[in-house]
Amino acid sequence: MTDVDILIIGGGPAGLAAAIAAHEAGCRNVLLLEREPALGGILRQCIHAGFGMHVFKEDLTGPEYAQRFVQRFHALGLSAQCDTMALSVTPDREVTAVSPAFGLQRFRAKAVVLAMGCRERTRGALRVPGWRPAGIYPAGQAQRFVNLDGWMPGRRVVILGSGDIGLIMARRMTLEGAEVLACVELMPFSGGLTRNVVQCLDDYGIPLLLSHTVTEIHGRERLEAVTVAQVDAQRKPLPGTEQRFECDTLLLSVGLIPENELSRAAGVRVSEVTCGPLVDDALQTSVPGIFACGNVLHVHDLVDHVTVESTEAGRQAAKYARGQGEAGHPACQMLQIRDGAGVRGLVPQTVCAVRVADALPLMFRPAAVFKDAAAVVRLDGEEVLRKRFRILTPGEMVRLVVPKEVLERHAGAGELTVEVTV
């Protein structure tokens, strides 16, 4: 059994930022576990640009963004074990892990930071009927094949889902020599950034079929074609609108799911809305001393937000490890955060208002597309903050900051809601 102050599970942008923050907060016994052979997480395979516009005021590629943190991580003398899989986390913060270099290891941590990221929704979960041939891949897996392994999944591609991963892969596959026939999107709007629709689809003449979905898979051994149909307002396929696309590859960009198996096993309560742990303003989960940040907490769009969130988690974990977690606030009356109309997945879900340092950051996804709207924050029903937005879309997570003074003015409030009004 090895004692550590802070054990971080996951060496992507979340884990790296948390580790750096914990070190900078004075914690000197920090260990990070990463299951891949190198640090960087999902950024290693995101070779496109668009990362770091907020944090570095630069337009970096994924690997470059990751490298900034990897370099700082090493420069600070922080410890990481790669090729290491965390097998379990107990509510007492004992972590069991296994790796070829060190075999089975058990750690006892004063604080644990969960930074495991997320996985992709699969064809099985979508229940697309038809055959089960080779050639159907989650878009992120195809991204890994192409960008990390140097393998090509196929030659004639249809993409289901117009979230950023699907859009990015439309361009990647095209530049690596494949023909991308269409991007098929269930909703009447794209789930990704407009920049990506233009630079990944429009630039290459790839049609975006909104309000469409794949209704059948053809091909016994290798994919041969997919049937695509238009959908109605209830997202049900409209008979008679079917068209057939002859293709050998179907990439699925149909949703990301935070990876909380370890969390659940540790007794961490998980939100049904975000699919991530329920956390308070310190990003602490329902299990004392276990913190969560990054995509494992809720699926982010901008890695810059992951960095900011994870920096806070690392700071808080360090505080907890030093025994200062709850100190100073013996009677912490928790403010409950609830999703109002038009809002989905507010994080954190509870707040100790007294403990908030300068401001309380809140993140959520709009439940639909809203133009010329306002996000309204209420404390016990009373409006305390209003922020106008030219546009709100489910594809872009919103970050709102509630100043400490606002919380102080309504000390003792029981509930904070955020809603969208047009």
Part of the chain binding other proteins (CB under 8 A), chosen from 20-28, 117-125, 279-287, 313-321:
117-125
Q: Phi, psi (5° rounding) for residue 257?
A: -125, 120
How far apart CA 333 and CA 349 sit, in angstroms, is 13
Q: Does 79 engage in binding with other proteins (CB under 8 A)?
A: no
The pair of three-digit structure tokens given for residue 95, joined into one six-digit string:
């972590």
Residues in region 187-226 near other proteins by CB under 8 A? 193-195, 197-199, 202-203, 215-216, 220-222
Candidates 15, 16, 19, 48; binder of other proteins (CB under 8 A) is 48
How far apart CA 60 and CA 186 sit, in angstroms, is 31
For residue 22, what is the enclosing H or E element? helix 13-24
Q: Between 59 and 382, whose beta carbon lies closer to other proteins?
A: 59
156-160 and 398-403: which strand pairing? Answer: unpaired
The pair of three-digit structure tokens given for residue 139, joined into one six-digit string:
């878009």
Cα–Cα–Cα angle for 253, 258, 263, nearest 5°? 160
In three-state secondary structure terms, 266 is: coil
Q: Does 230 engage in binding with other proteins (CB under 8 A)?
A: no
Q: How many residues bind other proteins (CB under 8 A)?
A: 80
249-252 and 156-160: which strand pairing? Answer: parallel
Inter-CA distances, 408 with 119, 282, 316, Å: 39, 18, 21
Neighbours of 335 (CB within 10 A): 26
Q: How far is the CB of 372 from other proteins (least distance, A)?
A: 10
Q: How far is the CB of 141 from other proteins (least distance, A)?
A: 5
Candidates 8, 27, 146, 226; binder of other proteins (CB under 8 A) is 146
- The closest alpha carbon to 71, from 35, 39, 26, 44, belongs to 39
Q: Cα torsion for 62, 64, 65, 68, to the nearest 10°?
A: 160
Q: Does 300 engage in binding with other proteins (CB under 8 A)?
A: no
Cβ atoms 349, 339 nearer than 8 A = no
Q: Does 76 engage in binding with other proteins (CB under 8 A)?
A: no
Residues in region 83-102 near other proteins by CB under 8 A? 83, 85, 87, 96, 98-100, 102
Candidates 120, 185, 280, 309; binder of other proteins (CB under 8 A) is 120
Part of the chain binding other proteins (CB under 8 A), chosen from 107-115, 149-157, 180-188, 318-326:
149-157
Q: Phi, psi (5° rounding) for residue 207?
A: -70, 140
Q: Between 15 and 348, whose beta carbon lies closer to other proteins?
A: 15
Inter-CA distances, 187 with 10, 161, 242, 333, Å: 33, 9, 17, 41
Candidates 10, 41, 140, 191; binder of other proteins (CB under 8 A) is 140
Cβ atoms 374, 280 nearer than 8 A = no
Q: Does 330 engage in binding with other proteins (CB under 8 A)?
A: no
Part of the chain binding other proteins (CB under 8 A), chosen from 13-21, 38-46, 318-326, 401-409:
38-46
Inter-CA distances, 28 with 25, 31, 324, 370, Å: 9, 9, 16, 46
Q: How far is the CB of 208 from other proteins (least distance, A)?
A: 11
Candidates 76, 341, 391, 401; binder of other proteins (CB under 8 A) is 391
Cβ atoms 397, 365 nearer than 8 A = yes
Q: How far is the CB of 382 from other proteins (least distance, A)?
A: 30
Candidates 77, 390, 405, 422; binder of other proteins (CB under 8 A) is 390
- The closest alpha carbon to 396, from 370, 374, 366, belongs to 366
Part of the chain binding other proteins (CB under 8 A), chosen from 20-28, 148-156, 339-347, 414-422:
148-156
The alpha carbon of 153 is separated from its chain's Cα centroid by a whole number of angstroms, namely 25
Q: How far is the CB of 175 from other proteins (least distance, A)?
A: 5
Candidates 37, 77, 323, 328; binder of other proteins (CB under 8 A) is 37
Candidates 153, 277, 294, 314; binder of other proteins (CB under 8 A) is 153
Q: Does 239 engage in binding with other proteins (CB under 8 A)?
A: no
Residues in region 49-68 near other proteins by CB under 8 A? 49, 59, 61, 63-64, 67
Q: Between 129 and 412, whose beta carbon lies closer to other proteins?
A: 129
What is the identity of the amino acid at 207? P
Cβ atoms 226, 219 nearer than 8 A = no
Q: Between 94 and 326, whose beta carbon lies closer to other proteins?
A: 94
Q: How far is the CB of 72 from other proteins (least distance, A)?
A: 13
- Overall residue count recorded for the chain in this entry: 422
Candidates 77, 150, 323, 381; binder of other proteins (CB under 8 A) is 150
Q: Does 269 engage in binding with other proteins (CB under 8 A)?
A: no
What is the identity of the amino acid at 240? G
